[in-house]
Structure 1
Amino acid sequence: MLVVKLIEHTPNPEKIVAAAAKLCYSPVGVDEILENLDEEKTAKLLNMLMTYGHHSPIEHVSFTFAIEGISRSLTHQLVRHRVASYSQQSQRYVKLEQFEYIIPPDIEKNERAKKIFIESMNRVQIEYNQLVEILCKDELENLIKEYLSHKKLINPEEIEKKQYIILKGKAEKKAIEDARYVFPNACATKIIVTMNARELIHFFNQRCCTRAQWEIRQMAKIMLMQARKVAPVLFKYAGPSCVNGPCPEGSMSCGKVMDIRKEYAIK
């Protein structure tokens, strides 16, 4: 199940953006600017910034989301947004003895397709477990031989239990590194994402659009709704590109501009 949480953001994000913008044209210092910025003045300044396309001040604030229940297919698309920071659950260090996976809606609603899909996922799990076992056994044998040679020992039984556990852990880690190659794009993952507001708005332009894949579009909309709760003026016009202007998709446009503008309008 998709879970999106805005876990941190710059305090008073809208006031910070307004102060940064005002500083560019003000003879006074930051303290005085902040002191004179009330909610009404902040909103007015932010609306002007967004209307005039003066977006550099909004880079001063950032938003951090924790996201779970998404596929590797989604995160491959997500990390293409390069002006961001990402920390993702590693398949290299985490042994997935029972991996979770995301079923696309069109497969979920087709009984025959869903059966094939689930059977495929089950086979992958079995094959992954088998590969880990086989590769771990081979690597452990190699590590034991190297250790015996290095310590000038003859019998594996001479290896202390503590050292054997260390060698086995290394062998399993190496096995997991290679066995993970069988996992599909459907494999579920977890990620923490931090973007500044300017990049976040660009992300919403691209990924809230109907041409984005269903999964990342669903996630992007939830992220936008959560960002609006803490910075409603800043993200007032955020969403697909067509929310604020003509659709940039040309002949590939969905043709539903008015419906989309209603969907993303602040209620």
Structure 2
Amino acid sequence: MVILETPRVFLIASWGSEAVISAFTDALYRGVPWEEAVKAQAPDIIIKRISAFYRQGHWSVFEFMGAQFLVECSRACHTQFIRHRMASYWSESQRYVDYTKREIRFVVPKGFPADLLKRAYEDYARLREGFRPEYARMILPNATAVLFAVQMNARELLLNFAPLRCAYAAQAEIRHVCWQMFAHAWRLWPNLARLVWEDLPSLHRDFCTKVPRGEDCRLYAIKDAEEKHGPLPETPWLSALVHG
């Protein structure tokens, strides 16, 4: 039995790029041959076009880039996650996985009583003596970890998921996951991610709910998530913003 405080996010693959979206602009609006359009994408042109699409609300173009992740978090976190329907999911099956043969994991905040989790696992093991995993799983708590693959386009990740799940009002665990994904998005699509970062408090009306007056809603949400679930993976831009 393993008890984890920190949910984990692994970037598996990505598709598209800000440069590709910028090249589409030349190919589709100006009739430039694709090979020439690709070669013409200087950094300043890309920044200008990504910013223009974002500011004009022409967000559908950001669906032409996206990423695949492996996420490990609690079943409670997973249940919230899959409410985001503009994404694809493939999840670990408690119906088939036998946790008497494979190490079971739990994801809980710091200070959660480990003895309760141990008792739940012991009950599961007793049930497995006479029943299949699909029956024994009924006794497992929401803290049980689930590994799942998720695929999101950049619009869904940065302009829907992040304003809802990176906010302080979201549960700390899924918020921790959200900021990990945001960090990956920053590396993949730096211009769009920077624009979203600047506007996050205004992208959803509840983003700053429950945040003390005078606090930066984004930094407050990050620090609280780290207090409950451990430090976010080292990310230079994030460290500079939060701890610098």
TM-score range, shorter chain: 0.7 to 0.9
Q: Partners in 2 of 1:262 and 1:41 — Cα distance?
A: 31
2:76–2:143: 8 Å Cα contact kept in structure 1?
Answer: yes
Alpha-carbon distance change, 8 to 22 in structure 1, aligned in 2, over 3 angstroms: same
- 1:86 equivalent in structure 2: 89
Alpha-carbon distance change, 85 to 133 in structure 1, aligned in 2, over 3 angstroms: same
- 1:119 equivalent in structure 2: 115
When Rg is computed on C-alpha atoms for both structures, the one with the higher figure is 1
Greater fraction helix: 1
User: Which residue of 192, 196, 199 maps to 2:149?
Assistant: 192
1:208–1:239: 8 Å Cα contact kept in structure 2?
Answer: no
Q: Partners in 2 of 1:235 and 1:128 — Cα distance?
A: 43
- 1:59 equivalent in structure 2: 63
Aligned length: 216
- SS at 2:194's partner residue? coil
How far residue 232 of structure 1 moved from its aligned partner, in angstroms, is 0.6
- SS at 1:236's partner residue? helix
Work out whether 1:130 is the aligned partner of 2:126. Answer: yes
Alpha-carbon distance change, 258 to 40 in structure 1, aligned in 2, over 3 angstroms: farther
How far residue 207 of structure 1 moved from its aligned partner, in angstroms, is 0.6
How far residue 250 of structure 1 moved from its aligned partner, in angstroms, is 9.1
What is the percent sequence identity of the aligned residues? 29
How far residue 122 of structure 1 moved from its aligned partner, in angstroms, is 1.8
- SS at 1:134's partner residue? coil
C-alpha offsets along residues 70-128 of structure 1, whole Å, 9 cap, x if unaligned?
A: 101110011011111112211111101242212223xx0xxxxx4xx323222221221
Alignment of 1:173-192 (within 5 A): 175-192=132-149
- 2:12 equivalent in structure 1: 7
C-alpha offsets along residues 41-81 of structure 1, whole Å, 9 cap, x if unaligned?
A: 1111001111111111110111111223x101110011011
How far residue 25 of structure 1 moved from its aligned partner, in angstroms, is 2.5
2:91–2:149: 8 Å Cα contact kept in structure 1?
Answer: yes
Long gaps (5+) in structure 1 = 109-113, 136-174
Q: Partners in 1 of 2:207 and 2:105 — Cα distance?
A: 38
How far residue 38 of structure 1 moved from its aligned partner, in angstroms, is 1.5
Long gaps (5+) in structure 2 = 1-5, 223-236
User: Which residue of 139, 145, 162 maps to 1:204?
Assistant: 162
Work out whether 1:249 is the aligned partner of 2:227. Answer: no
Alpha-carbon distance change, 246 to 94 in structure 1, aligned in 2, over 3 angstroms: closer
- 2:109 equivalent in structure 1: 104
Q: TM-score, normalised by structure 1?
A: 0.72
Alpha-carbon distance change, 247 to 205 in structure 1, aligned in 2, over 3 angstroms: closer
User: Which residue of 203, 215, 225 maps to 2:183?
Assistant: 225
Q: Partners in 2 of 1:233 and 1:133 — Cα distance?
A: 55
Q: Partners in 2 of 1:47 and 1:18 — Cα distance?
A: 11
